[in-house]
Structure 1
Amino acid sequence: MKDFNFKIPQTVEFGIGSLKKLQAILEENNSKNVFLISDRGLEKIGVVKKVLDILDNAGVTVSSYLDVVSNPTVDNVNECTKSYKDSEANVIIALGGGSPIDIAKAVGVLATYGGKITQYEGAHIVPGPITPIIAIPTTAGTGSEVTASAVISDEERNYKFSIFSYNNIPKYAILDPELIMTLPEFIAAPTGLDALIHAIEAYLSTAATPFSDAMAEKAMELIGANLRQFVANRSNEDAACAMMLGSNFAGIAFAWARLGNVHAMSHPVSAFFHVPHGTANSIILPTIMEYNALADNGRYEKIYNYIKTSKDKTENFVPEILISEIKKLNKDLKIPASLGEVGVTKDKIEVMAQDAMKSGNVLVNPRKTSLQDMINLFEKAI
């Protein structure tokens, strides 16, 4: 067994109604001036007000930035950083899916160390601890509340880049399943699949360890048994709890094992064609599972047993059985069958393939991948 290390450098609060623990966290840290980062969608449905009411009761000064967009941009980061500095707050509360939490991480870096956010592109460039972040996820998908990455779109380059540093991990995470029980189906399905893909790619990664495997396996168990039920009825409390916790465990898994070709490919798809991250990943997954099947060492069958709908014992398992089950899952959750169906065109294949090859995730994909392989994979997915 190869050497590895891990740490869980934060406090995670989980449970129905755990949002109310925000006040105690602020009091514990003597936080009197906070900065809230979220988006207009959550403001519209009243989730932002829930948090503002708690902050009002806590008697703290609050400033906010609510203009975070899907696939957040460098401009988004710069605007939010300016607002944060003007507020003179010393704690960031990130409320939302991956986008507000990623913005919060980027703001935490710039507010602490200055410069341009593109200077921190890559791995382990952030020099030290950043502004404390309290992450409150409102989707069961990204796991960003426990991961080391912030993913930002550079519109000048049509490129999504990652800032990977364990300094980025929020100090606190509050996992309240009530916050995902009002999600619309069109968000619950791709974000839930995204969480499952995090677990699958971490599990298949060549950088996987017994620690990441434990997190990934439990994530697949929770998500596999509850994803369909949750999408069918988001008010199903047990399914919501399982999805919220499964997403969190999947995030921990890939924080330490990285991901693979699915995520390497989805980032340029989102950068060039603005396809939502979870949707892009879900569409690409069957193509990559087919490609990686040659490298399977028995883990495909384990994944299948977590996500299959049949209770019967599977005889003479082959990887194609898992791939068929994934395609069926996508179809059940109304995920388009190809990238072409969401507007991705072949004229960008070569540049997207080049961008995908820059991802560190390609290096830990279970099957080696050349630039020509990547071009072929995009052609197949489109």
Structure 2
Amino acid sequence: MFRPVAQLPLDYSVFKDKKSVFSWAPSGAVLFGNGASVRTGEELKKLGVKKATLVTDQGLVKFGIAERIIQSVREAGIALDVYDKCEPDSSVETVERIAGLAQDSDVLIGLGGGSSMDPAKAAAILVANGGSIRDYQGCDKFTKAPLPIVAIPTAAGTGSECTPFAVIADRQRAWKMPIGGTGIMPALAICDPELTYSLPAGVTAATGMDALTHAIEAYTSRCTEPISDALAMQAIRLIAHAIRPAVYRGDIDRDARYDMMMGAMLAGYAFTSASLGISHCMAHPLGAQYQVPHGVANALCLPVVMEFNMGAWPERYADIAGFFGEDTCGMSVREAAKTGVRCVYELLEDMPIRPLESFGVTEGSLERLADDAMLGGDRPNNPRMTTKEDFIQLYRKVMTLKK
């Protein structure tokens, strides 16, 4: 069925110079383009799949997108079970239910955003390794190869279709649990911009800002390397120019939808190698404790974090201004870096994103949020070191943003 590929452990060592050894280990294949999803069954048949389990949500069932994939798979003569009850920030319990359904499947298909693709990845671990998904928090904790995964994104944001990560909500602990390992990199990603045409403006904005955060944090991480840099730069360029038309005229601007999906995918590949930064450390507790959608949390935190980080690597933030199309000729590096930060503040102003206070976050929330942000696995890779007091001040500043 699926050809074996090299599986390297995830490595986020900080590079000391340009001659350091680094690994680049994406696996699987990508099928990208308008209408690509109708080929799902055909592609699975080529891979020798006899039975699959589809993981999705009720919204995609309601709007007929799930049926498009179901029909394609069944017309190819492949038996199919369907789990269609994924919730936002899918939980430990959801993963366990999917794993129970998929015991005799050859492959798991994650259709949707991260809330569908991530539990499919996590369930793939459980099918092969057993136990509780809590046993696999962290990187490379499983020993047996997970069930192969096919990922079909329906939003341009999470990048989960091309990353070896899953984030699962542990509601007992009010914690978003990271799970990683190259074994859960999807064997096949089917990226069809047509699946995003009907997304409302708010969802397009939140997911698009999530993708931009991935790209910018990968480009400014302490773990950058040449391949991740190239991918992150192009992702920032694409998203910076496509996100506004995708949000406000995404029903007719097909080029913007195409560029957003491409940008989100490239950003996913970039941060797979380069890691992320403290915007994600801040976003995860907001989601776990106050149910702030992940993209919204990153959208609100990103410019504040960029401003905090700017002095640690001003050359990179100056580059970002250029990726947004700003003419920085004649500016000092610091002036250009400030322009890069301003571009993202102005972008946030244009996005239909709710303010943090509307989710119930208060001054009294900040200490616990900061405690959990300090536990974020991406904190060591941020360009500037961060203390608990820094996080309190950063959350406080995010709360002052007016939308």
- TM-score normalized by structure 2? 0.91
- Letter aligned with residue 133 of structure 1: I
> SS of the residue aligned with 1:136?
strand
Q: Give the drift of 1:313.
A: 5.2
Cross-structure match for 1:61: 79
Q: Give the drift of 1:311.
A: 6.4
Q: Give the drift of 1:228.
A: 1.0
Cross-structure match for 2:229: 213
Residue 309 (structure 2) pairs with residue 303 (structure 1)? no
Residue-by-residue CA offset, 1:84-117 (whole Å, 9 max, x unaligned):
22xx212111100111000001000001100111
Residue 133 (structure 2) pairs with residue 147 (structure 1)? no
The unaligned stretches of length 5 or more in structure 1 are: none
| Of 166, 178, 183, the match for 1:162 | 178
| Of 152, 155, 165, the match for 1:136 | 152
| Of 322, 334, 359, the match for 2:376 | 359
CA RMSD of the aligned region, Å? 1.5
Pairs within 5 Å for 1:119-130:
119-130=135-146
CA distance in 2, matches of 1:282, 1:14: 26
Residue 213 (structure 2) pairs with residue 201 (structure 1)? no
CA distance in 1, matches of 2:201, 2:344: 19
Cross-structure match for 2:115: 99
Q: Give the drift of 1:314.
A: 6.7
Pairs within 5 Å for 1:224-235:
224-234=240-250, 235=252
The unaligned stretches of length 5 or more in structure 2 are: 1-17
> SS of the residue aligned with 2:224?
coil
Residue 282 (structure 2) pairs with residue 265 (structure 1)? yes
Q: Give the drift of 1:268.
A: 0.5
Residue-by-residue CA offset, 1:209-260 (whole Å, 9 max, x unaligned):
0111011011111111211111121131111111111100000000111100
| Of 190, 195, 211, the match for 1:179 | 195
Cross-structure match for 1:292: 309
| Of 120, 130, 141, the match for 1:114 | 130
> SS of the residue aligned with 1:353?
helix
| Of 35, 39, 63, the match for 1:45 | 63
> SS of the residue aligned with 2:53?
strand
Cross-structure match for 1:280: 297
- Letter aligned with residue 359 of structure 1: G
CA distance in 2, matches of 1:307, 1:126: 41
Distance 1:132 1:223, change over 3 A: same
- Letter aligned with residue 281 of structure 1: N
Pairs within 5 Å for 1:343-358:
343-358=360-375
Q: Give the drift of 1:74.
A: 0.9
Cross-structure match for 2:88: 70
Cross-structure match for 2:15: none
CA distance in 2, matches of 1:334, 1:325: 16
CA distance in 2, matches of 1:225, 1:128: 42
Pairs within 5 Å for 1:319-334:
319-334=337-352
Q: Give the drift of 1:348.
A: 2.6
CA distance in 1, matches of 2:233, 2:330: 19
| Of 385, 390, 398, the match for 1:368 | 385
CA distance in 1, matches of 2:233, 2:328: 20
Q: Which moved more, 1:321-330 or 1:142-151?
A: 321-330
- TM-score normalized by structure 1? 0.95
| Of 242, 246, 266, the match for 2:259 | 242
Q: Which moved more, 1:225-234 or 1:95-104?
A: 225-234
Residue 43 (structure 2) pairs with residue 25 (structure 1)? yes
CA distance in 1, matches of 2:304, 2:56: 34
Q: Which moved more, 1:25-34 or 1:241-250?
A: 25-34
Q: Give the drift of 1:119.
A: 0.7
CA distance in 2, matches of 1:9, 1:217: 21
Q: Give the drift of 1:285.
A: 0.9
Q: Which moved more, 1:72-81 or 1:164-173?
A: 72-81
